[in-house]
């Protein structure tokens, strides 16, 4: 019996934002503590801004997996704002218990536990483990 196509809607993650902000804040806070705080306060704001922008710039959209008649998987990506999904090459670099690291047409995509629904996250992991 052919598998039903799976769609995983991926959005920005608050966990990713926290993982980027905590080290940036710790480094800038340590610099403020050790050195005079005036110039490092600007660095703190710059690091926090860069961390927020890095997380928010991540790809958002829907990743679809469809079973191929030859036994493989065809992956399709529909970016936020696009109407049609386009075929993409997908490679899984990291498949951890919570975090999934993907290469989507060469672009890095981290799927955090709060990037998509728990059911979609589970289905995506099943597709990646099988193929």
In a 10 Å sphere around its CB, with 0-12 CB exposed, 13-18 middle and 19+ buried, how is residue 116 labelled? buried
Both 78 and 120 in one domain: the answer is yes
pLDDT at 1: 43
Residue at 42 is within a domain: yes
Residue at 30 is within a domain: yes
Q: Positive or negative, the Cα torsion across 13, 16, 18, 20?
A: negative
Domain holding 70, by residue range, is: 6-11+63-130
Both 78 and 49 in one domain: the answer is no
Both 118 and 92 in one domain: the answer is yes
Residue at 85 is within a domain: yes
Both 72 and 124 in one domain: the answer is yes
Both 115 and 75 in one domain: the answer is yes
Both 126 and 67 in one domain: the answer is yes
pLDDT at 91: 92
Residue at 1 is within a domain: no
Phi-psi region of 5 (alpha: psi -120 to 50; beta: other; left: phi over 0): beta
Residue at 72 is within a domain: yes
Place of tokens 């990037």: 115
| Mean pLDDT of successive 10-residue stretches along the chain, which has 131 residues | 68 81 79 71 75 74 86 86 88 90 88 88 88 71
Both 50 and 79 in one domain: the answer is no
Both 84 and 50 in one domain: the answer is no
Residue 62 has phi, psi (to 5 degrees) of: -130, 125
pTM for this model (two decimals): 0.74
Close Cβ partners of 43 (under 8 Å, ≥ 6 residues apart): 28, 31
pLDDT at 93: 92
Domain total in the chain = 2
Residue at 26 is within a domain: yes
Both 120 and 67 in one domain: the answer is yes
């Amino acid at each position: 019996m052919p598998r039903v196509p799976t769609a995983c809607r991926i959005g920005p993650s608050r966990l990713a934002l926290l993982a980027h902000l905590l080290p940036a804040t710790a480094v800038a806070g340590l610099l403020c503590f050790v050195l005079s705080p005036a110039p490092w306060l600007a660095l703190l704001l710059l690091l926090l801004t860069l961390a927020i922008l890095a997380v928010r710039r991540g790809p958002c959209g829907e990743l679809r997996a469809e079973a191929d008649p030859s036994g493989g998987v065809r992956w399709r990506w529909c970016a936020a704002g696009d109407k049609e999904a386009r075929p993409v090459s997908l490679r899984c670099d990291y498949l951890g218990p919570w975090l999934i690291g993907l290469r989507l047409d060469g672009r890095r995509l981290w799927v955090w536990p709060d990037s998509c629904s728990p059911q979609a996250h589970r289905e995506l992991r099943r597709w990646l483990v099988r193929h």
